Each structure stands twice: as C-alpha cells, then as structure tokens.
Chain A
Amino acid sequence: MKPQFEKGGRLSKLHSVFDGFYTFLFTPNETSKSGVHIHDSNDSKRTMITVVLALLPCCLFGMWNIGYQHALATGTADHNLFSLFFFGFWAVLPQILTAYIVGLGIEFVVAQLRGHEIQEGFLVSGILIPMICPVDTPCWMLAVAVAFSVIFAKEVFGGTGYNFLNVALVTRAFLFFAYPAQMSGDKVFVNLGDTAAVDGYSGATPLGQLASSQSGLVDLTGVNGDILSNADLFFGLYPGSWGETSTFCILIGLCVLLISGMASWRIITSGVVGAFLMSVLAHNFATDLYPVTYLMPLQQLCLGGFAFAIVFMATDPVTACRTNTGKYIYGFLIGALAILIRCYNTGYPEGAMLAVLLMNCFAPLIDYCVVNANINRRLRRATVNNQ
C-alpha cells in the first residue's frame, strides 16, 4: 500500500495524510544518514502524548463535575459516579470532536500543501481548547475560533514550533472577545439540559460572583446557593470552564509533567511565587471597589484558571521563554499579571488567559535580553584579552 502514496504513486497527493497515519501506527524505521548514529527514543509524538496524559485527570474530573453541577443545579438526587460522569462526557464530546476535526483537518491540509509531515502539536491543543471553554459553548463558535487560531496563530508562522502565541489560548481569547455574551456571565458554565433549575440557583463562577459583587466581600456560593468551603475550591466542586476547576487534579498533572520533564519547573515555581506575592499585596490593600482583593492568597491560587494556566499554558515550550533565566522572569510575570488583572480589572473576572498571552508576546524580548548578557560577557572577555 505504501508505494502508492510515495512520490510518483497514484495517491501521492495524499502523502502527508498517509504518512501521518502510518507514523502514528508504526515508528518509522528510517536510520540516521549523517551525524550521530544513535538517537534518544523520545520524539515529538511521545512528548505530546505525555502532556495529554497529564491532562487526563483534569479532563475526567471535569466531565464528572459537569454532571455534578447539573445535579446540584437541578436538584437531581441521583449522584451515581458513572451517571454524573457520562452526563458530562456526552455534554463535551461534541466540543472535543469539533476541536480535533477542525484543527487537525487544517493541519492535514496545510501539511499536504507544504509537502511536510503532519505535526503533533494539535494533539495537545485539541483537548486543551474544550477544557478551557464553558460547557455550553456552541460547537459552531468553537469551530470558527479553532480555525481562526490554527490558521492565524500557527500556520501562517510556519506551523508547530514557530508560533509565538499559545494556540489554545488564542482560541479562548477569540471566543471571549468575539462572543462575549455567550462566553461569560452566569448562564454558560453549568449545563442544565432540559431540566429547570432549583430555587436559589445561580450559575455564576466564584470569580464571577466576586466581580459582580456590589458590597465588597461576599460568601462564595455553589450553584444551589450553599456556601463553598476551601476544600470545595481546592477539589474543584464549583462551576467554571470545565477542565480547569480542580486544583487537585491539576497537581496530579503537574506531577506527571515534572517527573517526565516535559514542563519547566522554573516557570511554574516562579509563576506561583509571583501570583502569591501579588495576592498578598492585593489582600493587604483590599477595598470594596475591587472585591476580588479580599480573597486569601491560597484561594487566589486555587480559583479560576490560574493553576491550569500556569501548569499547562505557561509551560508550552514553543511560546514560553527558552532560556533558563528567562523562564524565571516569564513565569513570575505571568503569575503576578494574572492576579493583577483578576483583582483590578472588574471587566474580566479571570486574568490568567490575558497574562499568558501578553507574556507570550514578551517572551522573545526577555530571551533577547538574557542572550545579550551572554553576548556582552563574550565581548568583554575579548576586549580585556586584547588590551
């Protein structure tokens, strides 16, 4: 079958597509022609699969939580683990399929046009995108946003490895700014289905409740009006973009990423430090004008998309800083900016997305400065020697 897809073969126009599926099934047996004769077993497929694996706890929990929030909101008594999980699973399956079909479809076409191999970057983006969107995002909006971001944030720059903005976050930002009514507020984060909500129901996320609060600090409540405990916040039992509510599951993913070495501990550590310091600062100067500032620093770290963004978005190696020194600066600024935007811009209940995208833009500049320090050191050495 293979020769038909090779150059001159009947189906050579589909070479990239065939190659994509073939290398997915079989590790290519190409041997090295120049340079080193042996290679490390790790390749880009393994790398991406590892990240997807790290995302699984968040993904599975998120699906269950959709069911759980639905049950709370509608007063359903059935809290069976599997029925809750499958409620969420069926709710998000169309979104996941949409993201993969549109995104990978564009990747396949572009790879074929350029005559390249199909690249694996979208394997991760495809699952990330639905996870950071509200559960009720219409599929057509998702399709438009995915197409926009894959084409304009990635392929125009040359594909995986050349993009300077995180593809998943560009999708999220596109949705946020193009369809603000459908992407925020208290209607989209809980899937009610056809059932009516219980009395006292509010679908607002905790950060949404604070942002729209008129009276300074309010008690954070769940969808059925019950007060949310700190444990609820840590384990993620509240409405929100469905993949990112559980800090506990994010920590499991973090362990996978750190053990496998696929995420930079430098970015994550300095990001958490930055967010923590900013939260302490905001908490010390808390005012009624900006109710989010009343949150305790640890609550800030657990709530909203911050933890998810710092672990899975900020560490995207392509769009982050590439020098070790740069990574500390980059992570710190993301952490600090995320909390800054969250606290002091009441128009955006969450700041992590904007903070990461902004720092994506600054990452090359930070690296430039770090590399220049190396260049200056070299120049100084040469000048001293030649005197």
Chain B
Amino acid sequence: MTDIIKIKKGLDIPLEGRAGGRPLPTEPSGLFGIVPDDYPGCIWKAAVKPGDKVKAGTPLLIDKVSGAICLTSPVAGSVDDVKRGERRKIEYVSVRREGDGSESFDTTAQPEAIVKTLQASGLWAMMRQRPYDIVPAPGVAPRDIFITAFDSAPLAPELLSEKLAPYLEKGIETLARLTSGKVYLSVRAGSGLTSKTAVVTEFEGPHPAGNVGVQIAGIKPVNKGETVWTLDAATAARIGMLYSGKGISYDTVVAVTGPAAANPRLMETLVGVAIGELLHSEITGSVEATRIISGNVLTGVKSDLQGFLRYPYRQVTLLPEGSDADEFMGWASMNPRKFSVKRTFPAFLRGLGKKYDFDARVKGGHRAMILSGEFDKVFPMDIYPEYLLKAIMARDIDRMEKLGIYEVAPEDFALPEFVDTSKEELQKTVRDGLDYLRKELS
C-alpha cells in the first residue's frame, strides 16, 4: 500500500491558458542551444568551437572541476555559436541541426560505469542534489534518490510523455544501483503510477506538492552532512531509455501556456529548442507587450524570441508585461479581477475557479518584512521560512544550518515570493545564501 501525504499549505494560482490535448509534433526546428547558467555548481568550459560537427550526445560543455560532467548537444549538426558575455563567461552554446546520428554510450549496469555514462551523456547534469540545489557533486554517494513524477506549478504539463513513460521503471532500477539507500518516487494521488523498485508515495494538495523539496520533507528530510539526489520522472525515464538499449533521447513535450498564448497547447520537440522557432505564431498581442517565460511563472526565466528553451525543458509561459499601465490609486482598487490571497481585495469573494488578470508587474514598493505568517501559509515544510531568510541575509552560517537551509532550494520560496506583501526577491536571496554557504564550507 502506498502512503498518502496531504499537503495543506500551498496555493494553485488561478492563471489562465492551460495547455491540453495530445502533444503535436512541431515543424523540425533548426537551432538549439544549451545555457550553462541552468546548471549551477559546476564551472563550465566549452568543448567545441563554432563550425565543429556534433552528434546528439556529443559534449558541448565540460565541467572544469570534475573533468567528467558534460552538457551535450540535443541534435546532430554543427556548432553555430559559443556566445560569451562579460568576462568571457559562456552564455550559451548553440547547434544548428544537420543530418542525423547520435553518440553511443556504454550501458553496462555497474555503478562506476553508470556514473560515467550519465556524466558523459548530459543526464547527470539534469539531476540535482540537496544540499545547495546544484548538479550532483561526483564522488558523493547519495543517501537516497528522490524522483518527482508530477509538476504542480501553475499551468505545468504532465511530466511523462507517452513516449517516455514505459522506460521509467528501467530508469529507477538503474538509479537504485547508485545509492545504498532507497529510490523514492512521488506521484500525484490517484495517478495510478507505481513502481516495483522505488518506494512510491502519493501526494495530494496544491502547489508546491510537486516540488521535490516538499516531498523530501514529507518522506525523509535531509540532515546536515547528508546528500540526496533529486530528479524529475522525465530524466529518470530518459536514463531508462538509454539503459533499455533505445539510445539517448533528448525528446521533450513542451507546454505553451499562459494568458497571452493564442492557442495553449503541447508540442513535441527537443531540449534547448530556439524559442523563436517554437513560438512563431503563438503570441496574441505585440511581442514587446508580452513576457516570454521559459518555464513557469514562479521559477521560469525571462526570455525572448532569440532565447532557447531552458532547463527543465517542459514549459513556456506567455504573460502580458503590463508595464504600459499606470494604474490610478491602485491601492484603493475594488477591481474583482485583481488576484490576492489576502482578503483585502474583493477577489476573495469569487474563489479560485474564476478568471483573474495577471501581468508581470510587481504591484507595490519593496519594503522590509512587515506582515508575519504570510510565508508559512504557502510553505509546507517544518521550517520557519522568515527566520531562515533573515539568517541568510545576515550571512549567519550557524543559524542557517540550524534553521534548515540544507533542506531547501530556491523554488521552495517561489510561492512565498508571490504572496509577499513587501515584494522581496526571496528566491534570489536563497540562491545567494546557498552559493555563499557552499563557498564558505568548501
């Protein structure tokens, strides 16, 4: 019998534009890009030059420290650009698709061989470790491995496509060889997803029930000195596919969602696809007045038509920018379509099922923390978020550890950031805190 964990604290933001139906194949895109910023914890150096021929699975970037972890090309073709920004930092490596062909990997089921294959194929980098929410450090055996089989973020699509789903079990079996602990699979209550190898736990409730951090907190929290790996079911299934002899796959289903999407839908494509090619006719308004988010509205990255689909490669959200509106005396507004979790707006009389207007405005000035307890209502972990944030701001390592920083990732603070009356940048604070801690303790 599977355990059910009910998440009570949280919020499903009533955003419009959910993608439904069967995924449609897109026209074959020409340009793909990998952004090293999506993979924190490594120092990436380019392994290719513009013009080099690559196959699907050929390393584009290699981690300088380990010399083994790679970010790989999703398609066969030639390297289009190694774009560098300030201080020669690599912004992205792009590949133009030409022809076919993919690298082959050693699929021996020995732990050392599995690690090598995962690192070389780019699948390793798609996993994360706690503490620090970074690409797993090589040489550290994880206490347990946690796989989330659903994404509860606003308008997020299903994680497992029909193509990938059959390989999940094989992926779990492969991963189980890498830990002396257990592999935990967290599924949405009622999804019927099971596993022979993994310990399956069902989760019920609003976002952030699908956040792997919340799932770990409910199953077996991370303590100081312990390391766990986390990944989504799509990555696990890709591993399974590789070890089933089907070769490496960078296929993904992307949900084009959001209130500014002309026709919200699911599209079959590959990781790192150029946003411009994906979205050529999807935006309702003018492109300038639309915010293109690679990801969901809470944790996604602001992008543009020149950008690429970013990790975790599953969603694009289109949102009105809203910067053209100078709202007169907005603080006195009785507009029922202004959404707030507080009951200071008439919206609370309408409930969550109704239509609300969302745009990218911050909707208020930045202040010090004033209201208490507002983060707790959307933060279902046994942690005092406000105190942890204050410890991070004070750079007090001892207190950060005591208050549970090893258990959290920036994404866990996305909903608190959304509801925050003082409009602080909480995810950035947590990311800076984690980076600071890692630097000080290494």
Contact = CB atoms under 8 A, between A and B. Distances in A.
Interface string A289-328: 0000000000000000000000000000110111110010
Interface in B384-428: 384, 386-387, 402-404, 414, 417-423, 425-428
A30 interface: yes
Contacts of B370: 44, 47, 121, 160-161, 317-318
Contacts of A23: 365
Interface in A357-385: 371, 374-375, 377-379, 381-382, 385
A138 interface: no
B108 interface: no
Interface string B321-359: 111111111111100001111111101000000000011
Contacts of A121: 370
Contacts of A79: none
Interface centre among B13, B225, B322, B342 (most CB of A within 10 A): B342
Given A35-B414, A374-B383, A43 B365 contact: yes
B91 interface: no
A37 B360 contact: yes
A320 B331 CA distance: 25
A323 B360 CA distance: 31
B371 A317 contact: yes
Interface string B310-329: 00000001010111111111
Contact of A36 (B226, B359, B418, B421): B418
A43 B363 contact: yes
A318 B363 CA distance: 22
B221 A381 contact: yes
A107 B386 CA distance: 26
Nearest to A29: B323
B298 A36 contact: yes
Contacts of A117: 365-367
A26 B418 contact: no
Contact of A38 (B341, B359, B365): B359
B331 A371 contact: no
Contacts of B438: none
A380 to B, nearest CB: 10
A265 B215 CA distance: 30
Given A43-B421, A44-B421, A371-B384, A324 B373 contact: yes
B92 to A, nearest CB: 19
A386 B363 CA distance: 47
Interface string A19-62: 00001111111111111111111111111011000000000000
B361 A39 contact: yes
B218 interface: no
Chain B interface secondary structure, helix, strand, loop or mixed?
loop
Contact of B419 (A40, A259, A262): A40
A40 B339 contact: yes
B382 interface: yes
B424 to A, nearest CB: 9
Contact of B329 (A26, A327, A371): A26
Contacts of A259: 343
Contact of A317 (B333, B359, B372, B420): B372
Given A40-B342, A40-B363, A43-B365, A31 B331 contact: no
A46 B330 CA distance: 9
B224 interface: yes
A371 B291 contact: no
B221 A161 contact: no
Interface string A117-136: 10101000000000000000
B347 to A, nearest CB: 8
B362 A28 contact: yes
A205 B42 CA distance: 72
A3 interface: no
A288 to B, nearest CB: 44
A32 B417 CA distance: 11
A378 B15 contact: no
Contacts of A115: none
Interface residues of B, number: 75
A75 interface: no
B382 A377 contact: yes
A264 interface: yes
A9 interface: no
A47 B421 contact: yes
B364 interface: yes
B418 A40 contact: yes
B161 interface: no
A47 B344 contact: yes
Contacts of A327: 373
Contacts of B104: none
- Most chain B CB within 10 A, of A24, A324, A374, is at A374
B196 to A, nearest CB: 27
Contacts of B418: 36, 38-40
B151 to A, nearest CB: 16
A228 to B, nearest CB: 37
Contacts of A26: 326-330
Contact of B372 (A35, A40, A322, A379): A322
A321 B327 CA distance: 35
Contact of A37 (B300, B343, B420): B300
B225 A35 contact: no
Contacts of A44: 364-365, 367, 370, 421-422
B302 interface: yes
A247 to B, nearest CB: 24
B384 A374 contact: yes
Interface string A182-195: 00000000000000
Given A160-B370, A382-B224, A35 B425 contact: yes
B297 A37 contact: yes
Q: Which among A43, A121, A161, A382 has the greatest number of chain B C-beta atoms within 10 A?
A: A43
A180 interface: no
B388 to A, nearest CB: 10
A379 B402 contact: yes
Contacts of B330: 26-27
A162 interface: yes
Contacts of B342: 40, 42, 46-47, 260-262
Contacts of B402: 375, 378-379
Given A42-B340, A385-B223, A158 B428 contact: no
Given A49-B331, A378-B404, A34 B428 contact: yes
Given A37-B298, A117-B366, A327-B373, 20 more contacts: A28-B361, A29-B325, A30-B323, A32-B362, A34-B428, A36-B299, A37-B293, A38-B358, A39-B418, A40-B418, A41-B345, A42-B342, A43-B331, A46-B344, A121-B370, A160-B368, A261-B342, A264-B373, A323-B372, A382-B223
27 contacts: A24-B331, A26-B326, A27-B330, A30-B323, A32-B362, A34-B427, A35-B414, A36-B298, A38-B297, A39-B364, A41-B363, A42-B344, A42-B419, A45-B365, A47-B342, A121-B370, A161-B422, A260-B344, A262-B342, A264-B373, A317-B372, A321-B372, A322-B373, A322-B386, A371-B403, A378-B403, A381-B223
